[in-house]
Structure 1
Amino acid sequence: MLAPLAAEQNDKQLAVLTAARKVFLEHGFSAATTDMIQRAAGVSKATMYACFPNKEALFVAVIEHLCASMTSTFKAMRPSPGSITKTLTDLGMSCLDIVLSPDALALNRVIMAEAPRFPELGRRFYLAGPKVVIAMIAEQLREAVEIGEINVQSIGMEAAATLFLSMIRAQAQMECLTHPGTRPSAAQKDYWVQIAVTTFLAAFGVATAAPVSAKD
């Protein structure tokens, strides 16, 4: 009997978490209430509090769940040895897909609005989202450094990863945050990524000798 009970509890927890995500992203943390979340989840107050003790715990769970879902693509990515341009381009497009997704933009707006009053929530978001992405980019760059495709010794691995992420998302994220409903085209996203990749390689790429043709 234990397994069915555990499965039922997990189903209810997921229902509460799904409802909380919708309510928080639509209304923000301060304006959202546990009553709103309970009604949206279709569970009792006792069930909701058995899953999450308070509104803050619910919001942290929503942050971590959304961030884990958004960064899952990175975990499956593999660098392209010998083609740092492709590696960076793939990373850049994945970054844009994450930061420009409707949920990511909505969560970003909520966090920015609430961080002054609830700095711990902002910190949890940073650690679960941007910090994780930076670490994943740094790991990809590390392999490129080891085979001599780039040299980031001047600023260090983490700073290089942070710089690349900043170049990728800066204009794109700002435009979409300040123009709700905007959906950039594939060509526009490709343009943003290529600018970032070209600039990054101009600063940290390692020059290689041009290949010699057969007739030479």
Structure 2
Amino acid sequence: MTSEQPAPQDPKAQLVLEAATKIFLQRGFSAATTDMIQKEAGVSKATVYNRYPNKEALFFAVIEKGCSNTISQVKAIQASADSIDKVLAEIGYTYLKFTLSREGLALFRTVAAEAIRFPNIADAFYTAGPKMTLEIISEHIARAADRNEIKVQSIGVEQAASLFISMLRGEGHMIGVMYADSVPSQIQIEKWTKNAVDTFMKAFAP
């Protein structure tokens, strides 16, 4: 991520960021230009460059914006759930709701398409989103294991968390990536989440 970002209350920076999100997710990183973003935002070039020095900085900001809201919601679950199955169910639903949304899928496609040419962009996305989610789930699983709610010694905490995320994403993410018009219903997201939680709890029951 860039070391300096505009102040969050800066209204023009928000206009530029919203325009950048739209352009990047429609056209991809390589095809998008700062001219397109400037015109979409309805501001001057000076306004864009005073807040974001280049296109890469803009895309980093889009990644951070896309991931931060979901991560904040996932972190907040820590105090609201009292058992590991409830924690995983809440986290799973929150995570899938963004991951399988139009914006979440478009962001994933855009980053994946540029990963070879721009590995720093892929790293920024992985660090801000998937890695952070894995760490949060790992913390919950470790605490649940200490309470003897589950036993994950056979594969370890982080692998157990990774397995849960893999079950959670599963077919739904593949369908979403491949079919741009595919948007799952709330019922479907709840079903995928429940299947992942139920399978996880049966596999690691004490």
Q: Same fold (TM over 0.5)?
A: yes
Match in the other structure for 2:201: 201
Q: Are the aligned partners of 1:164 and 1:196 in contact in 2 as well (CA < 8 Å)? A: yes
In the alignment, does 2:37 pair up with 1:28? no
SS in 2 for 1:29: coil
* Counterparts of 2:13 and 2:153, CA distance in 1: 46
| Unaligned ranges ≥5, structure 1 | 1-5, 207-216
Task: String of CA shifts for 1:3-25, please: whole Å, max 9, x gaps.
Answer: xxx98981111111111111101
Answer whether contact 1:138 1:158 (CA < 8 A) is retained: yes
Whether 1:120 and 2:120 are equivalent positions in the alignment is yes
Aligned to 1:46: 46
Structure 2 letter corresponding to 1:200: F
Deviations 1:141-169 (A, max 9, x none): 12211211011122222221111111101
Is the 8 Å Cα contact of residues 97 and 189 (structure 2) preserved in structure 1?
A: no
Paired residues of 1:93 and 1:189 also in contact (CA < 8 A): yes
The change in CA–CA distance for 1:190 and 1:49 in structure 2 (over 3 A counts) is: same
1:158 aligns with 2:158: yes
Contact 1:71 1:98 in 2 (8 A): no
Offset, 1:85: 2.7
TM-score, normalization: structure 1? 0.85
Are the aligned partners of 1:67 and 1:128 in contact in 2 as well (CA < 8 Å)?
yes
CA RMSD of aligned residues (A): 2.0
2:87 aligned with 1:80: no
Alpha-carbon distance between aligned partners in 2 of 1:115 and 1:171, rounded to the nearest angstrom: 22
Mapped partners of 1:59, 1:109: distance in 2: 13
Q: For residues 77-124 of structure 1, what are the alpha-carbon distances to aligned partners after superposition, in whole Å with 9 as ceiling and x for unaligned?
A: 13633x433222222212211211111011011111111111111111
Structure 1 residue 202, shift from structure 2 partner: 2.3
Give 1:63 deviation, angstroms: 0.5
Q: Distance in 2 between matches of 1:60 and 1:66?
A: 10
Number of residue pairs aligned between Structure 1 and Structure 2: 200
Match of 2:64, as an amino acid? Answer: E
CA contact (8 A) 1:95 1:165 kept: no
Name whichever of 27-36 and 159-168 sits farther off: 159-168
Give how far 1:71 is off: 1.8
Give 1:176's aligned residue.
176
Kept in 1: contact 2:38–2:48 (CA 8 A):
yes
**Which deviates more from structure 2 when the two are superposed, residues 87-96 or residues 185-194?**
185-194
* Residue type of the alignment partner of 1:179: Y
